[in-house]
Amino acid sequence: MDAWGTDSTSAGLRESSDSWGADANQVNAALPQRAGASLFAHPDAFYRALVDAAVDAIIVIDAKGVIQLFSGSAERLFGYAAAEVLGRNVSVLMPEPMAHEHDGYVQAFIRSRQPHVIGRGRNVVGLKKNGDTFPMHLSVGHVAQGEDHAFVGICHDLTDYHEALMMIAHEKARFRDVVQNQKELIVRLDPDFRITFANASFHHTLALDEGAAHGTYFFEGALGETQGHQQELRALFDSDAPERVFLKIRMRQGSAHKSVEWFFKRTETDAYGPELQGFGIDVSDRDRAIDESNYVKSHDRLTGLHNRQGLKRAFSSVRHTNGQWAVVYLDCNRFDLFNHRYGLRHGDAFLCVLADALKAHVTEHHAGVCGRLSDDDFIAVIPFAEKVDLDRSLESLIQDVGAPKSIEAGPVFSPSLSVGVSVYPDHGSDLDELMHRAGAALRYGKAQSETVMFYSDMIGQRASRAMDIEQGLKAALIEHGLDIFVQPKVDLKTGRCVGFESLLRWGFQGEPVSPAEFIPVAEMSNLGRLLDRYVLEAVANGIARIRRVLPDYDLPVAVNITAGHFSEQNLKTFIQHVLEDRGLDARLLEVEITEGVVINITEQINRNLLGLQAMGIHISIDDFGTGYSSLSYLKKLPVNALKIDKSFIDDISHQNGLKLVEAIVSISQAMNLQVIAEGVESQGQVDLLLAMGCQVGQGYHFSRPFPIDQIPAYLARQA
């Protein structure tokens, strides 16, 4: 019966015990029912009943292949009645070509007695009466008596089994398709960490040809140190507990790499034994976004240098490499002039050039870090061994960064630098503290006109004092703790008062604080605008009170307005509201501006000056001669008066000082500007000023400052 066989391995399915129970009833029904009869009394009937009761089909053929027995199960399996096939060749139950060749196989066995199917089982194909084929498992036995041969075939229907196999295969294929099409990377590793399976995403993500990963060493594609990862996975292999391992591995992708977060668990497979199932997620884009976010957080957007946060992080990583570090705070002096003249676009471009020069110097000459804090404020943190080495480094740094710089389609500009220096660890261990102290040294150095200034305890005390003053000023502005004093301006010829200058007085911590101390602090801490507005409102309130006592009062009170405030667009509107709210004529207020306004004149400042003049407010230049301005600036400004600084009046008794004041008075008169001498302290100075044509004076010779509410009493004494 080799014609029925195939080379496939036997894998028959068997019915449950319940089926066998049902067939036993059929056996009992077929046997003679006689009391006390032995089960084996009628062996022919007994064996026939057994054959018919068998679940699997039983077929007996002779040496010629002719069917001699066809069980009831065979009838049901093949669709033939026994009478239809008895006496016919068994090939009727076989599809071609096995049916045609069957008899030859039987005869060959009888001659050679070499079994191919006999005593074994094979999966073969059967042919039903209706022409349908079906899978079945065939077991063949051989019986011989003399020259007679009989072959018993037991046929088990494999249709349900094959359908189950096909369903399983379909589900496996479907599962494999799902796995292959997963976005996640999926691998299986054997105990040697070789890949037994890798899905399409694994190959695609790591730029591998399809199937190329199979059999390769998993960590061959990993970058960096992997020993720790291997130990964790080995422990997972060796553990019976249902543990899991999470790893982040940089995987090679051609010449680049991918960051993959892996989750591994142990699994058992029939084919390979214990394996590790790995699920990976490509987090390269996420990591890149995090890196970019961290870069933005730690770097200055304009120049690409470190910002404050980046400087702290960078310094923390290199601090241990050297014993001493200098924190160098660089400021580009008067950079606002560059912006005013050439515009912000060129200003930004110049800052980038300056930053590049700083970075190039620090990178080339020092294993340090550098950054930009704000505007034109830069930081360099450089290592040094001895103070003399640091001095040379600072000189070289200032020379390189301060060299003439040019920008595309723009001017050549030579930056003037001021530098403050603090030293780690002498002046602190925290970079914020060190930068703060370097900044304090910078500000003190600028006040002393020094290019380089090292931090000292004295500077620290002054900085602490400035901070205390700043906080005190903020409280005083809220609590109206600042007092308005005035000093008369007097006609030198008649001695009559022609107006007043308002002066701010403040008592802090039980002691008076000089305006020379708290005004610069206010301007550095951006309190200048608030201070100006406080004085404007307080002076207007004082004038309103005076007019309630002296309705005919008409002497103007001058208020000094800082350069920064004069650049504000709404300054004129604010002053107008202050006067209108109190019903005051604009001629009762004068405005004094510093030389900073004169030097940094902009269109907005000019509009404010013209607007105030149009209201009837006189404009004076205060402390003339102490800055960098010249008389040529006066031609460009809509001003009414010029106040000669006290330092010039002090020298008026000397020939050079006298000639200088005479020149200022002469040119001012030629430009129709009123001249006011500040700090007049003697009658001799009055006489000299009168002789050269100066009209108005102000100083202790005429009166010390007094509270604004005492103006009526002062005028009464003058009368």
667 C-beta neighbours (distance < 10 Å), count: 15
Model confidence pLDDT, tens digit, residues 621-653: 887 766 545 556 677 778 899 999 898 999 998
Q: How far apart are CA 198 and CA 190, in angstroms?
A: 12
> pLDDT at position 560, please?
93
Residue in the structure block whose two tokens are 């680049």: 256
> pLDDT at position 412, please?
82
3-state helix vs strand vs coil in the chain, percent to 5: 45, 25, 30
Residue 17 has pLDDT above 80, yes or no: no
Residue 301 has pLDDT above 50, yes or no: yes
Residue 542 has pLDDT above 50, yes or no: yes
Six-digit token pair at 599? 């030097």
Q: How far apart are CA 215 and CA 197, in angstroms?
A: 8
* Entry pTM: 0.56
> pLDDT at position 452, please?
95
Q: Find the Cα–Cα–Cα–Cα dihedral 86, 88, 94, 99, rounded to 10°.
A: 160
Greatest C-alpha distance within the chain: 168
> pLDDT at position 46, please?
73
CB 488 within 8 A of CB 702: yes
Residue 11 has pLDDT above 60, yes or no: no
Most confident residue range from 288-302, 408-422, 557-571, 696-710: 696-710
**3-class secondary-structure state, position 63:** coil
Residue 22 has pLDDT above 50, yes or no: no
Q: How is domain 477-718 classified at the architecture level of CATH?
A: Alpha-Beta Barrel (3.20)
Closest CA to 681 of 660, 656, 650: 650
The amino acid present at 106, given as its one-letter code, is: V
Neighbouring C-alpha atoms within 13 Å toward the C-beta of 646: 8
Closest CA to 527 of 462, 474, 572, 597: 474
CATH 3.20.20.450 domain residues, the chain: 477-718
Residue 105 has pLDDT above 80, yes or no: no
Closest CA to 59 of 71, 43, 47, 50: 71
Q: Which pLDDT band, with edges at 50, 70 and 90, does 19 fall under?
A: very low
**CA 356 to each of CA 134, 304, 309, 364: distance values in angstroms, whole numbers, following the listed order:** 84, 9, 19, 12
- HEC readout, 64-84: CCEEEEECHHHHHHHCCCHHH
> What does residue 700 show for φ and ψ, rounded to 5 degrees?
-65, -20
pLDDT mean over 192-218: 88
Sign of torsion over alpha carbons 47, 53, 55, 57: positive
Residue % of the chain over a pLDDT of 90: 45
Which residues are 246's β-sheet partners?
Answer: 263
**3-class secondary-structure state, position 320:** helix
CATH 3.30.450.20 domain residues, the chain: 2-160, 182-287
Which residues are 89's β-sheet partners?
Answer: 66
The amino acid present at 332, given as its one-letter code, is: C
Choose which CATH entry (3.40.50.460, 3.30.450.20, 3.40.50.970, 3.40.50.720) describes domain 2-160.
3.30.450.20
Q: Which pLDDT band, with edges at 50, 70 and 90, does 668 fall under?
A: confident
CB 617 within 8 A of CB 590: yes
Residue % of the chain over a pLDDT of 70: 86
Between 601 and 199, whose confidence is greater?
199
CB 189 within 8 A of CB 196: yes
32 C-beta neighbours (distance < 10 Å), count: 11
> pLDDT at position 341, please?
79
Q: How far apart are CA 82 and CA 564, in angstroms?
A: 118
Classify burial at 631, counting beta carbons within 10 Å of its beta carbon; exposed 0-12, middle 13-18, buried 19 or more. Answer: middle
> pLDDT at position 306, please?
94
Residue 579 has pLDDT above 50, yes or no: yes
pLDDT mean over 224-248: 84
Six-digit token pair at 617? 């407010």
Residue 487 has pLDDT above 80, yes or no: yes
Distance of CA 424 to the CA centre of its chain: 30
For 561-618, where are the alpha helices, taking DSSP H only?
563-566, 571-581, 595-599, 603-615
> pLDDT at position 413, please?
82
Q: How far apart are CA 422 and CA 435, in angstroms?
A: 7
Choose which CATH entry (1.25.40.80, 1.10.10.10, 3.30.70.270, 3.40.80.10) describes domain 303-455.
3.30.70.270
The CA-CA-CA angle for residues 250, 318, 415, to 5°, reads: 115
The class (CATH top level) of 182-287 is: alpha beta
